[in-house]
Chains A and B, each alone.
Chain A
Amino acid sequence: MARSQSGSPAHGNLDRMSRALAHTLVVAILAALLAVAFWRSGYEFQWEGVWAYRQKFVTGWLTTVAMSLASLVLSALVGLVTAVGLRSRWTLVEAAARVYVELIRGTPLLVQLLIGFYVVANAVGLENRYVVGALVLALFSGAYMAEIFRGGLAAIPAGQRDAARAIGLTPWQSLRLVILPQAIRLVLPAVAGQLVSLIKDSSLLSVIAVSEFTLAAQEVNSFTYSTLESYLPLAAGYLLLTLPLSALSRWLERSFAYEAG
């Protein structure tokens, strides 16, 4: 951040180019090492069997994208409400928000999915495993989002609230017009990072038989007995989503870095 601001534009370009070169070099070395490892293992790749199931991969990948996005939107809402709850003056509200965050962050998603699907959803008569999956994932991610938002809200100087009150804004207007627009800029990079986690975590949806990307690979593997040919595309498919998001997160961090005034 400081680097790209202090240097001249030309300097910044050079900086970016040398970084891109360094990345490429590291990736090339890793790829070479992997290739050697595969060659020495004597593994014979059989892509034909897996290729026949390519449609399954595509559908699974799209399901993963859709489930992750739906969960992200829901978890942003959950996280925002919880973050406001965490900062509440009312002890009961604060306690409820705190208990939710700690319970979720202290237990494995696997357990939450199983309990959510086989116990809670069953009890309330919710049968659609995609809906249940998205809800559990949203509640899971919401606890992390709550901490991200809480940090963002806490980072807004007290003077901003004072000024909002001084000009006669109601507490809700102050949140909507003054605090949130600033806090959202602050937390966007972390939210993009959370989406990366969410995408990877969504692979656990396979345990409640949601036909997402990971389940697709598992099924193809059991049909073809070609383990690596089933799981290598899985890794590539996740990277295809997560790498651009990481880049976006870094870019957001740079572009929203303006001084407070």
Chain B
Amino acid sequence: MELVVKGLTQAYGKTTVLDRLDLVTGDIRALVLVGPSGGGKTTLLRILAGLDLPIEGSVSFAGKTLPRDEPGLLAYRRHVGTVFQAYNLFPHLSALDNLTLPLVHVHGLSPAAALERVAEPLERFKLAEHAHKRPSQLSGGQKQRIAILRALATKPERLFLDEPTSALDPEMTAEVLEMIGELKDLGTRFVLVTHEMGFARRVADEVAFVGGGKVVASGPASTMFEKCPEPRVREFFARILP
């Protein structure tokens, strides 16, 4: 995915959150967004995922520009997947029904075909035995892995993940990160916001540092982590990396 973001501006009320943000990546599989809290990562990711409309600016993936109208965005969202920090599973449905709902009601699969589609991934990620439980009966790590499968089951062109592990304890964080790593090896493309720098370094093709509503610096992971010319970025990593 070649991402090109030009002059992206977003505001909540009178506060400008994204300020003419620009970002260009190569044709990569995994982009990781890092940066200080309140810097605008979530705001940027929601626009990339087609959940919010920016006030100004444009976004394109592989030459295709994101639509600016709600019907267009709805169609766009059906081809991508989004994973939230708080999982946002549907609590009134079993894990299995959470997975099949979009397949049946958005993508027109028969219930039987939907079940068949999700059986293999449930098995692969060791979630089959939990498929009939309600979200409230699952651990945080299980919930997030089900949420990732829900986003993946529709075979999206790419995933957007916003701090998928920041509500989890270290053990569950490890199991979710392992799953994301495996997905990358399987060829899934994604944009990930995370504070797990070790993982970011391992999985990212490129890293963009978002702060103060702008991309302060971006580039290949190795450059960004080791010899970024931007002092702000170097200071950030120096503070956060052991």
Contact = CB atoms under 8 A, between A and B. Distances in A.
Interface stretch (A12-20, A131-139, A162-170, A198-206): A162-170
A122 interface: no
A173 B105 CA distance: 8
Given A159-B88, A178-B90, A165 B77 contact: yes
Q: How large is the interface on B (under 10, 10 to 19, 20 to 34, 35 or more residues)?
A: 20 to 34
A106 interface: no
Interface in B175-215: none
A205 to B, nearest CB: 37
A163 B102 CA distance: 11
Contact of B74 (A157, A168, A177): A168
A168 B155 CA distance: 13
B88 A160 contact: yes
A125 interface: no
Interface string B133-173: 01111100001000000110010000000000000000000
Nearest to A166: B82
A185 B89 CA distance: 17
Which of the listed residues B86, B135, B151 has the most CB atoms from chain A within 10 Å of its own CB? B86
User: What DSSP secondary structure best describes chain B's contact surface?
Assistant: loop
Contacts, number: 71
A1 interface: no
A62 to B, nearest CB: 36
Nearest to A178: B90
A261 B135 contact: yes
B77 A258 contact: no
A178 B78 CA distance: 17
Interface string A144-168: 0000000000000101101101111
Nearest to B146: A261
Interface in B57-101: 74, 77-78, 81-82, 84, 86-92, 101
Interface of B: 49, 51, 74, 77-78, 81-82, 84, 86-92, 101-102, 105-107, 134-138, 143, 150-151, 154
Given A165-B74, A261-B87, A261-B135, 6 more contacts: A162-B84, A165-B77, A166-B77, A166-B84, A168-B154, A258-B136
